[in-house]
Amino acid sequence: MLKIPMIRFVAVAVILLLLLFGATQVGRGGWIYAKAILAQYLLADAWDKTLTDNAFHKPWPWADTWPVGRLTAPQLATDVIILSGDHGEALAFGPGHHSRSAMPGTAGTILIGGHRDTHFNFLQALRSGDLVRLQSSRGEWADYRITGMTIADARTDLVLASDTHSRLVLVTCWPFDSIVTGGPLRYVVDAEPVVRNF
């Protein structure tokens, strides 16, 4: 029987462990993207049901969120379902509507947040003057024109949801290419209504 020297055995074992560790890290990262993509199909189905009967439908039985709107950026071929709530669980599956802001299809400021590395990655490609569209649960579309982008510090700057001024505010973490998650800076996109459908 062939004997493998101990040093070679240890080296092979270390290499295999490092490969296994690397594979699990890649798998975890890939799972986040796969979950985000798959969820949009289930959310689209729940959204179609909402449009049929104007009642909110959970995308899967154990979900703690449901679709409340649909956002498109036609020039970027972007189409995402907006979820109720902007907490971590909801944001893992899609952009979330801030509960203290106006609902899509109503007057006031509509505040929507999303992750910079999945559903709201397209925000970095938007420019002033671009059009985004927001659909309400009644099926009505409202068009918004991008008026500007700013960088805000979540520790000191508040993105206020005014009840008197109708606008759409899209928020994500910044910078887009940062490898560190959860930083204090936010990329804020402001848009004004072009046509009111409510």
The whole-number pLDDT of residue 7 equals 78
CA 61 to chain centre: 21
Beta-ladder partners of 191: 146, 168
Tens digit of each residue's pLDDT (9 = 90 or more) over 11-50: 777 777 877 877 776 666 666 677 767 777 899 999 999 9
The whole-number pLDDT of residue 36 equals 67
Residues of the chain with pLDDT under 50: 1, 197-198
Task: Kindly tell me the burial class for residue 164, based on how many C-beta atoms sit within 10 Å of its own C-beta (0-12, 13-18, 19 or more).
Answer: exposed
Residue ranges of the alpha helices (H) in the chain? Answer: 6-53, 88-91
Coil, strand or helix at 122: helix
The whole-number pLDDT of residue 198 equals 46
CATH class of domain segment(s) 6-195: mainly beta
Q: Any idea what DSSP says for residue 13?
A: H
Q: Where exactly are the structural domains of the chain?
A: 6-195
Please name the helix (run of DSSP H) or strand (run of DSSP E) that holds residue 141, with its range, or none.
Answer: strand 141-153
